[in-house]
Amino acid sequence: MSDSESAAAAAAPGPAESAPGLPPEAAAIARGYASTGPALDLGALLWDGRCLPGAPVRVPLAALTRHGLVAGATGTGKTKTLQLIAEQLSAVGVPVFLADVKGDLSGISAPGEPGDAVRARSAEVGGRPWTATGFPAAFYALGGAGSGVPVRATVTSFGPVLLAKVLQLNRTQEQSLALIFHYADTKGLELLDLKDLRAVVAFLTSDEGRPELKEIGGLSTATAGVILRSLTAFEAQGAAAFFGEPEFDSGELLATAPDGRGLVSVLELSAVQDRPALFSTFLMWLLADLFHDLPEVGDVQRPKLVFFFDEAHLLFDGASAAFLDAITRTVRLIRSKGVGVFFVTQSPKDVPPDVLGQLGNRVQHALRAFTPDDRKALRETVRTFPDSAYDLEELLTSLGTGEAVVTVLDERGAPTPVAATRLRAPESLMGPVGAAALDRAVEASPGYARYARAVDRESAYEKLTAAREAAPGTPATAPADKGKREPSVVEQVVGSGMFASLARSIGTQVGREITRSLFGTARRRR
């Protein structure tokens, strides 16, 4: 670790000693950020229109597992704030996960470009000098849609609750989908990709398969039809590529580089930003998967991982009460596993109150107030802050780009005073790297050889199809006439008369019940 990187975590002298001439109100705020242990340096205090370099605004490393919120209107600097925090975490050996919705965070892997603006910002905020630095990064993309190592999940692992959210199913349909997963789990019918799920649904609504579910509630033809239509529409959007194997191991996100710095895992989402329900739910799957696999560690001095959940409002839009409850419990409990979660969105109103109440750290960029609704939202945002020495309603509409109102938890776990802050400039490149450089970085990413090529092994669809072809009395498959339509997957599955006995035998021989989480995601042995 270089001297400049070590300095990111070093404890700075207390503001009272470093700048005894601060105005009394500013000095009181500055004392709240006088960390004695490792801390991230966000910037310097703004007071009465002046930036006070002798009053650093810092967040203790241990406080980052208490989660956080980065909010603000478009163009106010949220992305650069993520970059600033991520690179300082990497410098002290903490892995970071970033969701890159706009495709401009790849620059974290390259040194920044010095210039007058960067030098001026560095002089204003004081502290250690700005040094152009690139950070170790791995690049991922959902199903390979974009520049990155493909990230896939099996349908079984993704689970019925998250899949129901993506398919926009109602509560009754979600419960029916959970019943289908339960059946497949117990019968050893692996749901690896979407065609597996379609095959099982079609079988369970056939004359042969319908008796299988009578004892556990049944599945109506109408509900099954809705699920099948939703799956068809989902596949038409290109979603089939996101489900399958090799399944991504979320433990990859916990890696460090050979030099001891934390790996910054960047999930590029720009290629799928028109499918917000898909990528926001995939992010929740990653978080839920980490929750399953990590051991309890209690309070830690440094996080095992900090997870930035960009465009967070998309996760909560249209979510059921049960889904929101599962998010709240996951966020509350994952802290004890050493993971910090930061939600990134435009307004605190985008995050439900129960989730917002779990977030101990806050970086609030400027808000706009052009309409009566904007004004109302502004007043509601101000009420979510502790009492402050500032006129927050005025301040939040006058902050410049790269400035924010900050309040975090100190080393005792108490909220710090609200501090208007001029943020430091990131030391990595503030913008995307070139396409050729990104391609090279993707191929050099850990796991490229493991995840690059999709695998389609035997699973529910293949088992059911093979059993149909092997059923007594089933005629051998003849070559298809050129003018004749091939039977669909659903028709092949429903067309068999022996699936009930097949499912029972599978259940006896290899079936097992999969333990599922709050979100219905499946635990896997690694």
Lookup: tokens for 136? 């170790």
Superfamily covering domain 3-152+246-450 = P-loop containing nucleotide triphosphate hydrolases (3.40.50.300)
Q: Which of 336, 342, 361, 412 is nearest to 37 (CA)?
A: 412
Per-residue model confidence (pLDDT) at position 472? 56
Tell me what pLDDT residue 214 has. Answer: 75
User: How buried is residue 372: exposed, middle or buried, by Cβ count under 10 Å (0-12/13-18/19+)?
Assistant: exposed
Q: Is the pLDDT of residue 190 over 50?
A: yes
- At position 358, the amino acid (one-letter code) is Q
Report the alpha-carbon distance of residue 45 to residue 42 in Å, rounded: 10
pLDDT in tens, 294-342: 999 988 899 999 999 888 888 888 777 878 888 888 899 999 999 999 9
Structure tokens, 314: 């998309």
pTM (predicted TM-score): 0.85
Structure tokens given for 374: 């904007």
pLDDT of res. 514: 56
- Mean predicted lDDT score pLDDT of the chain: 84
**pLDDT beyond 60 at 468:** yes
Concatenated DSSP letters for 270-337?
Answer: GGGTT-HHHHHHHHHHHHHHHHHHSPP--S-SS-SEEEEE-STHHHHTT--HHHHHHHHHHHHHHGGG
CB 127 within 8 A of CB 41: yes
Q: Whole-angstrom Cα distance, residue 50 to residue 29?
A: 14
Q: Check residue 505 and give its pLDDT.
A: 40
The residues pairing with 348 across neighbouring beta strands, listed in sequence order, are none
Looking at the predicted structure, is the pLDDT value of residue 515 above 70? no
- Bond prior to 246 in cis (omega within 30° of 0): yes
Q: Please, which pLDDT band fits residue 69 given cuts at 50, 70 and 90?
A: very high
Q: Determine the longest span between alpha carbons in the chain, in angstroms.
A: 94
The per-residue pLDDT for 498 is 41
Residue ranges, comma separated, of all CATH 3.40.50.300 domains in the chain are: 3-152+246-450
pLDDT in tens, 393-436: 999 999 999 999 999 999 989 999 999 999 999 999 999 999 89
- Give the helix/strand (H/E) hosting 139: strand 137-142
What is the rounded distance in angstroms from the CA atom of residue 466 to the CA atom of residue 477? 11
Confidence of residue 120 (pLDDT cuts 50, 70, 90): very high
Which amino acid type is present at position 39?
Answer: A
